[in-house]
Structure 1
Amino acid sequence: MRSNEEHIEQEEHWVSVSDLMAGLMMVFLLVAIVFMVDAEIERNKIRDVAVLYDRLRTQLYQDLQEEFAPDLERWGAEINPDLSIRFNDEDLIFDRGEHDLKPAFRNILAEFFPRYMRIITSEKYRDDIAEVRIEGHTSSGWLGRTEDEAYILNMGLSQERTRSTLAYVLNLDTVAGEKSWLKEHMTANGLSSSKPIRDASGEEDSNRSRRVEFRLRTDAESRIATILENQR
């Protein structure tokens, strides 16, 4: 009789354990479903922002092309789909090894920058611009210096050139009404020879590597970064 009672108790014990395990499995399943739903929501957010960014970038690129296409050859400039405008005719922008703007480049900037500002601060784009970057780039060489020495010297030179460019455009009378916005959004970035321009053979094109670029970063990139940060 006692053996039967023990057998029944063991069965009840295993039934309770199996019930507990089933309950735990349901909890884990619900947690997994919640995580899957949250992940899908975040993926949808990133997708929506990416679509917004792509449309914004495409429209901005088209507007910049339409505005400046007739002047690019004369300025020694080009517009790229990544929203960078590159001035790379070294005969127009700086003397070799110097950071003072040549008169020709001052004239170009005085013509270019107010029109550029009119586009990017328009109601269509104003709230979506996170940063207006002025980038200074050099070639990799420096006569009589080692590769590392040349890189450091060119870093200082590229930074001085971007500061000279920033100071000039910031003080143009034609953009005085947007000076506060500019101070919030514009940065000067010297990059030395870290991003050289290469020719078809893969060799550095030293002349085109010496350049100044205006590059836009939209708020869509910041939004994606925020979503990804929140997922960690």
Structure 2
Amino acid sequence: MKRRRSFKKERENQNFWPSFTDVISTIALILFFLMLLAYIQNIITGTNLEYAKKQLANTQKELEESMVEISRAEERLELLEDRLERVRAEVERGEKELKLSQEKIEEQKEIIAESNKELGRLRSRLQGIAFLRIEVLEKVKDSIEEELGKASDSNEDIVLIADNGNIVINERLVFDYNSYTIKPEGKEILDELAKAFENVLEDENVRSNIDAINIQGHTDHIGSSEYNRDLSTKRATAVVNYLMESNENLEEKYGRYFLASGYSEFRPITEGTTEEERARNRRIEISIILKDSNIQNIIDNYLKESMDVFEQ
């Protein structure tokens, strides 16, 4: 019996040790694998760390570049802000200057409007003087026509107003051809002419603007200019002399206004050569010479008033 038990114990001891060895081997194998995994993990981790470091370095480099770009952008922004401020300042100055310009324009408009008014008044005054000579001659013409009618017995105009505003007396009613002796019917015309001039010269406003009343003699182109100049002057002088003889009051009060001039054939009404056209050129023409000083005074006053407006 003892022997069987001993054999049994030996058998049991033999079964235990191999199992322990297996366990130890397994544990060693596990530890090996764990160490291998740890090693591999370290390798992987190291690789990842290097990669992460590179990524971090790249990111930092990009960040630094971005910071540089941001710094440059900030500088450009500052420059743009400075430029914007200058532009704003220039715009504000421009707006102020525009406002001042508009104010000046309005002032200039007012000055121009006032100048236009002054110019209108000047024009009216000058026109008034210009119309004065026509008005005087119209009154003289109307006075003659009122007494003698508009036409002679031969149905010719006794007096008419020419395009230049002068009175034209039909020469054939006053003188015979190539003569400076006044005809009887011509004396009737000049009698009324003397009365008419006395009446219009009674007006002090008329006299103050008249320098002279020019009695002009005109001939046609037949004959020499010397002969025609002498004839035209003698006819004009004959008319003035008769006016003064016809109306002593006219000579006494207003004789200083009358003068005689001869123009020969050099101021024709027409360039034609027919007898009718030459007859038109033979004429006594009466013009009113206005005082240049009066016209000049009006212009001077206007200029003075205009300068006063600009100085204000």
TM (norm. structure 1) is: 0.64
Query: What corresponds to 1:147 in structure 2?
Result: none
1:158 to 232, 240, 265: 232
Contact 1:85 1:214 in 2 (8 A): yes
By how many angstroms is 1:136 displaced? 0.8
The answer as to 2:172 corresponding to 1:89 is yes
% of aligned pairs identical? 11
By how many angstroms is 1:213 displaced? 2.6
Query: What corresponds to 1:35 in structure 2?
Result: 112
Contact 1:119 1:125 in 2 (8 A): no
Residues 66 and 217 (structure 1), Cα distance of their counterparts in 2 relative to 1, 3 Å cut: farther
1:17 to 83, 91, 94: 94
By how many angstroms is 1:110 displaced? 6.2
Contact 1:155 1:190 in 2 (8 A): yes
The correspondence of residues 91-110 of structure 1 with structure 2, limited to 5 A, is 92-93=174-175, 96=178, 100-102=180-182, 104=184, 107-108=187-188
| Larger helix proportion of the pair | 2
Give the alignment's Cα RMSD to 1 decimal.
4.5
Query: What corresponds to 1:179 in structure 2?
Result: 252
Residues 67 and 223 (structure 1), Cα distance of their counterparts in 2 relative to 1, 3 Å cut: farther
Structure 1: gaps spanning 5 or more residues: 143-149
> Does 1 or 2 have the higher relative contact order (CA < 8 Å, sep 6+)?
1
The correspondence of residues 3-152 of structure 1 with structure 2, limited to 5 A, is 3=79, 4-5=81-82, 7-43=84-120, 46-47=123-124, 50=127, 53=131, 56=135, 60=139, 61-69=141-149, 72-73=152-153, 78-81=158-161, 82=165, 84-89=167-172, 92-93=174-175, 96=178, 100-102=180-182, 104=184, 107-108=187-188, 111-123=191-203, 126-127=206-207, 130=210, 131-142=212-223, 150-151=224-225
TM (norm. structure 2) is: 0.51
Contact 2:194 2:250 in 1 (8 A): no
Residues 156 and 69 (structure 1), Cα distance of their counterparts in 2 relative to 1, 3 Å cut: same
Residues 213 and 164 (structure 1), Cα distance of their counterparts in 2 relative to 1, 3 Å cut: same
By how many angstroms is 1:137 displaced? 0.7
Q: How many residues align?
A: 215
Mapped to 2, the partners of 1:64 and 1:12 lie a distance apart of 80
Residues 35 and 157 (structure 1), Cα distance of their counterparts in 2 relative to 1, 3 Å cut: farther
Mapped to 1, the partners of 2:167 and 2:113 lie a distance apart of 38
SS in structure 1 at match of 2:181? coil
By how many angstroms is 1:198 displaced? 4.8
Mapped to 2, the partners of 1:30 and 1:168 lie a distance apart of 61
Mapped to 2, the partners of 1:95 and 1:44 lie a distance apart of 49
Which deviates more from structure 2 when the two are superposed, residues 10-19 or residues 156-165? 156-165
Letter in 2 for 1:181: Y
Which deviates more from structure 2 when the two are superposed, residues 28-37 or residues 120-129? 120-129
Query: What corresponds to 2:5 in structure 1?
Result: none
By how many angstroms is 1:41 displaced? 4.0
Letter in 2 for 1:207: A
Letter in 2 for 1:175: E
Query: What corresponds to 2:285 in structure 1?
Result: 213
Mapped to 1, the partners of 2:92 and 2:226 lie a distance apart of 74
Task: Pick the structure with greater CA Rg.
Answer: 2
Deviations 1:155-211 (A, max 9, x none): 4542343234334434x273246434231x223232322443559x89562234222
By how many angstroms is 1:212 displaced? 1.6
By how many angstroms is 1:134 displaced? 0.5
